[in-house]
Structure 1
Amino acid sequence: MESSHAGHMDAIYGTQRHFYDLTRKYYLLGRDRLIRRLAPPKGGSVIEIGCGTGRNLIAAAKAWPDARFYGIDISEAMLETARAKVAKAGLTDRITLAQGDATAFDALELLGVAAFDRVFQSYTLSMIPDWRGALREGAGKLAPGGRLDLVDFGQQEKLPRGWRSVLFAWLAKFDVSPRAEMRTAIDEIAGAIGARDEFVSLYRGYAWAGSIERTGL
């Protein structure tokens, strides 16, 4: 399953990765809000699950210069672009990348770190078939006192119905499916590990954002 999904993502983004960031900045709303709110502890560790071209990691590393950053993605094509962008930004000493499946990965083996102070997932759950598994895996990688932050497409609940139909039909062409049960899943996964959670609708429901925060031990 992992290899087939990786190949599928490479097929979709093998060409798109070259202009992905230029086009996505107009409709992947809420990413910069997430980065501003990360606030990792000094010397802390931050991982993006589904890092794509590395755009978010580079922005986060510049915003929070005292933290160490990591990223995984299932698509080797995307990682090829991410590595080049990280090197161009002069951040290879602070950003480590590896290929991995968001639903099941050994962070210690891949990255040398078992748990993280911050985990974030930006517009990835809507692309992952087992999105609940990916959310559960991200929460499971939190260090005590750590927090998972996510943002993804909402249900357009306060926007015109016609807009929702057109947007969802267009997203489906790229195998993107906004998750109507996201809020429930966040609640359930947070409850299972005794964590606090938050959820907020952004831009009239265009995007949804949430967090899962483990208590310190």
Structure 2
Amino acid sequence: MDAIYRTQRHIYDLTRKYYLLGRDRLIAGLRPPPKGAVLEVGCGTGRNLVSAARAWPQARLHGFDISRAMLETATVAVRRAGLAHRVRLAQGDATGFDPRAMFGRKDFDRIFFSYTLSMIPGWREAISASIDVLAPGGAIHIVDFGQQERLPRWWRAMLFAWLGRFSVRPRADLRSILAMLAEDHGLTLDFKPLYRGYAWSAVLRRPKAR
């Protein structure tokens, strides 16, 4: 990942602004509880964490990424936004991470994946790892590329070919895997196609403790 993003990180947010649709919608829907802990898995440049911190000023923000180069950019972005006291960053692997070692806590009220599952080879394991650290009453929010199901075939072929150049692979079985995990872990699933299937949005929710 460092090899991919060592140079791309400097133009990442500018170039992704127009086609990573649904990110701000996800952030607006987080609605963490007062002083709730929010975690972004694969935080990249820190763009989403800064936006989430501004949208939810009472929340405590955390993010990690496997790429040290991206974390360097995220650290600068957080400091420039004056949010270093509220946003904590760490390096880690989404498929298996220890929140106590990284952030000194065992769970999170909100966890989100923004266009990261299509880049993580072990994406199923990444979701499972996040379920393991989801607090009672918490939710995992996901937005990523859909299957372009209501868009022209030529568009889908062109987009997927272009994404493949960057090792991005939209997950055709995302909905079925999420449904299986929801059933296995006693969660509820809300799944919605966005923008005629350009993107898919999903929320896994854990019931509150009795």
TM-score (norm 1): 0.96
Once the two structures are superposed, residues 110-129 of structure 1 have per-residue CA deviations (whole angstroms, 9 ceiling, x without a partner) of 11111000000000000000
Post-superposition shift, 1:56?
0.2
- Runs of 4+ aligned structure 1 residues displaced above 6 Å come to none
Task: Identify which of 5, 22, 25 aligns with 1:13.
Answer: 5
Residue type of the alignment partner of 1:18: H
Distance across 1 between alignment mates of 2:155 and 2:42: 27
Post-superposition shift, 1:24?
0.4
The answer to whether residue 71 in structure 2 is matched with residue 79 in structure 1 is: yes
The answer to whether residue 202 in structure 2 is matched with residue 210 in structure 1 is: yes
Post-superposition shift, 1:210?
0.3
Residue 106 of structure 2 aligns with which residue? 114
Task: Identify which of 43, 53, 57 aligns with 1:51.
Answer: 43
Distance across 1 between alignment mates of 2:92 and 2:70: 12
Residue 14 of structure 2 aligns with which residue? 22
TM-score (norm 2): 0.99
Q: Percent identity?
A: 60
Q: How does 1:79-158 map to 2 (within 5 A)?
A: 79-158=71-150
List runs of 5+ in structure 1 lacking aligned partners.
1-8
Task: Identify which of 54, 68, 75 aligns with 2:60.
Answer: 68
Distance across 2 between alignment mates of 1:18 and 1:61: 22
Distance across 1 between alignment mates of 2:65 and 2:153: 33
Once the two structures are superposed, residues 40-81 of structure 1 have per-residue CA deviations (whole angstroms, 9 ceiling, x without a partner) of 000100000000000000000000000000001000000000
Distance across 2 between alignment mates of 1:180 and 1:11: 27
Number of equivalences: 209
Residue type of the alignment partner of 1:156: Q
Aligned CA-pair RMSD = 0.5
List runs of 5+ in structure 2 lacking aligned partners.
none
Post-superposition shift, 1:136?
1.1
Residue 88 of structure 2 aligns to a residue whose secondary structure is strand
